[in-house]
Structure 1
């Protein structure tokens, strides 16, 4: 007899960021635990779709390149939650975080104060979240830098945003097609075409 996927019941007061730590491989929810790629957006659990090869390559190579170029007090990580509030725990594709915060090997998430840059690589199943919802939540939490990477026929295009602290919204500071070269949050110079090739 095959046992089907066991979905958890929504807690009486809805999901919170702390609930995600209980959705682990040895947690109470059976096969759902094996999915692993779950995030909390506006109190809703979002099960992320399988990633494309474009998405995997860009995330992996961008994380490696940012880690290489980051100053010693920062490091880059991939697919690590950021708790923005009680009902907000998104999982950015790539983040640049404090090296001190990253030294805690038992942590399961970062806080906005730990994060200087978040990057979302847009997938068809997450376009609205990656383009609208998550950037709005990152900005409201005070994360100063946000990049969005789009797939333009197999070639990455980077949209670079910086936080306006007065309005707590992101302002577009550049669109990059071949080479991404920016001075903040630290000097970054990378060949975008190398990320997917």
Structure 2
């Protein structure tokens, strides 16, 4: 009976193509061609990852960080929110924020960026994404050569930004600092962001 039901699911034209994955998993290119795929779907290790509802902390934090990065970024860089990045044939995560080369953004129709053009990837951790944001996604960003990574969390009501930099010899991130009230950095460019604004909005 199980086999019969599965056979009906696979051949049912009313069901979306992404409901049953290919035997070797999806590819990064597939995400642009799967009809009715939920917004902000990520691809990790060939598997689709769907976004859960976001808490207000996530939205407010993204707003403050995006505003701060835009205000500090040099003219040859761009800040983008919730855009996917192709890290490999079976890897296309969607960082919460990225900073990339301006030349890598050809216009409003682009659906993903290449890892080689990304200077910084930022993940704001939610309970539902904690394992991915702390583990697998930083591993993938580092392996793809993205030079800087921030992990942002809420600890006892305070915003905490963990700042990482890539060691090119090992392709692994090293923790460069933990920031609470103010984020003041000189790489990948001069950055100063008041993190207490997140708690006050």
TM-score, with structure 1 as normaliser: 0.89
Aligned length: 186
Specify whether residues 36 and 196 from structure 1 end up closer, same or farther in structure 2 by C-alpha distance, changes over 3 A only.
farther
Is the contact made by 2:68 and 2:192 (CA closer than 8 Å) also made in structure 1? no
Displacement of 1:195 in angstroms is 2.6
Counterpart of 2:122?
A: 119
Q: Within 2, Cα distance between the matches of 1:50 and 1:100?
A: 33
| Superimposed CA distance per residue, residues 86-137 of structure 1 (whole angstroms, 9 cap, x where no aligned partner) | 1100000010011122242211000011100000000000111000100000
Q: Within 2, Cα distance between the matches of 1:41 and 1:13?
A: 13
Displacement of 1:66 in angstroms is 0.3
Within the alignment, does 1:71 sit opposite 2:74 as a pair?
Answer: yes
RMSD over aligned Cα atoms: 1.6
Is the contact made by 2:145 and 2:171 (CA closer than 8 Å) also made in structure 1? yes
Larger Rg: 2
Q: Within 2, Cα distance between the matches of 1:177 and 1:103?
A: 36
| Superimposed CA distance per residue, residues 42-95 of structure 1 (whole angstroms, 9 cap, x where no aligned partner) | 111100111100001111221121011100000111100000001100000010
| Superimposed CA distance per residue, residues 123-181 of structure 1 (whole angstroms, 9 cap, x where no aligned partner) | 00011100010000000000000000011233210000000000000000000011010
Within the alignment, does 1:38 sit opposite 2:49 as a pair?
Answer: no
Q: Within 2, Cα distance between the matches of 1:181 and 1:135?
A: 22
Q: Within 2, Cα distance between the matches of 1:156 and 1:43?
A: 32
Is the contact made by 1:116 and 1:185 (CA closer than 8 Å) also made in structure 2? yes
Runs of 4+ in structure 1 over 4 Å off: 4-7
Counterpart of 1:10?
A: 21
